[in-house]
Amino acid sequence: MSDAERYKCPFCGGTFEFDIKTQKLKCPFCDSVLSQEEYDTMAENKKSKNNVDIKDGATELDKDPETGEDIENKDQATYVCKSCGGAITPALTSISEKCPFCGSPIILTNKIKDAQPDVIIPFKLDLKAVQEAYTKHITTKSFVPKSFATTATKNEIHSVYVPFWLLSCKADGEVNFAAKNIRTERIADRKIVYSDHYSVFRHSKMDFNDIPADASSEMDDSLMDSIEPFNTLEALDFKTAYLSGYDAQKYDVNFDDLYPRFEKRLVQSFLTTVRNNIGNYDRIEIKNYNIEFNDREIKYALFPIWIVKNTWNGEDFIFAMNGQTGKMVGNLPTSWGKFFLSSFLSSFLFLIVTYIAMCYFLEGEEQSVIWGVSYFLAIVISLVVHFCMISDHSNVSSAVEAQSYLDFESFHNLKESDKYTHTTKTEERIK
């Protein structure tokens, strides 16, 4: 097998590409459809009969085609496309891409052999789905500048398999909490607050399965975190056929370098799960904890991502869509002129409600005072409502938990202890 291959159609000479709808190899020229197993069998039969390998693709060059000098940097290899003869110099992390001259899909099998993925989630959604999700993303948000939708330049929309490390492990930890229940009494003109304090201890266990972290330095970690979760139950054993026709990267960030990200998510998810299963207390505070993560299982995976890059007012906006689930993320600009105008106009509607309320609470006050307080509150309420409306303009953020990858059935407490310690009392005069 050559250093770079393509899935050449044995019927018409075209190049097979992975077809999202059929989840098989499909020739865009003669519409032939084959699974990789069927293709491999056909290729082997043809090779044994005619001594012809139809998985040609490209050949790695030993000499520079322009200068004739030996190529010493083998990491940045140059290939000649067998479809058109063009010289290709893939990026260091690229393991699959299209020939920039003729568009033939080429898979760099020598790079895959160096670090072959364990599993892959094939693309489930096509370009049309991306365009629909992107349009919905920018048109359903409040106060996005109209010009963003009409004049933003789509520099590119492309599909890429992004490398991820997956971590599965068992968590075993002890957590100490300070909890309290609060009781209130009123005696004459005094309010008495009693706080019953408890020392709470839990020794718990739980399992996490396939927590992902992107292993490409080229990808924004927050952007990749934001398109989670991935359903790894749909992950398949890796086969090169899934890469044909799509860009794909190999990892350039080692698992050990990413482990602090994993550990942060694991610790937070462990504490949240234990805390949520303590019981009925008015307030709970974590005092200290000791958690161990054992039986670690690590997988190297490729996940399908669609990237949309836009330019607007000289600023780049990058959006990403999960090629499995269709989740679209990306921060959007805000038209502050529209925001404040809408907030000002809406305050008149809130003014009716606040005025009625203030007439009740400020009974006996002058009308000028009531109107002044009412309008101030109406403006504040309107601004709060409008800020909530634009909160989803920024939906890209780093993951802090891993609840989506927690096996809830595995959670159980090995030891539980709730001890009453003391009661405190505070008093204040009611005016």
For residue range 356-366, what is the model confidence (pLDDT) as tens digits? 888 888 877 88
Give the per-residue pLDDT at 53. 44
Helix (H, G, I), strand (E, B) or coil at 195: strand
Lowest pLDDT segment from 9-13, 125-129, 182-186, 329-333: 9-13
Hey, what's the torsion of the CAs at 38, 41, 46, 51, to 10 degrees?
A: 140
Give the per-residue pLDDT at 86. 67
150-170 mean pLDDT: 88
178-207 mean pLDDT: 92
Give the per-residue pLDDT at 225. 96
Give pLDDT tens digits for 285-295: 999 999 999 99
d(CA 275, CA 270): 9
Give the per-residue pLDDT at 60. 57
d(CA 255, CA 211): 12
Give pLDDT tens digits for 111-120: 787 789 999 9
Give pLDDT tens digits for 374-405: 999 999 999 999 888 888 888 899 999 999 99
Give the per-residue pLDDT at 386. 86
Residue % of the chain over a pLDDT of 90: 49
Closest C-alpha to 18, from 115, 162, 159 = 159
Helix (H, G, I), strand (E, B) or coil at 170: strand
Give pLDDT tens digits for 24-82: 888 888 888 888 888 777 767 655 444 434 455 555 544 454 545 544 555 567 777 76
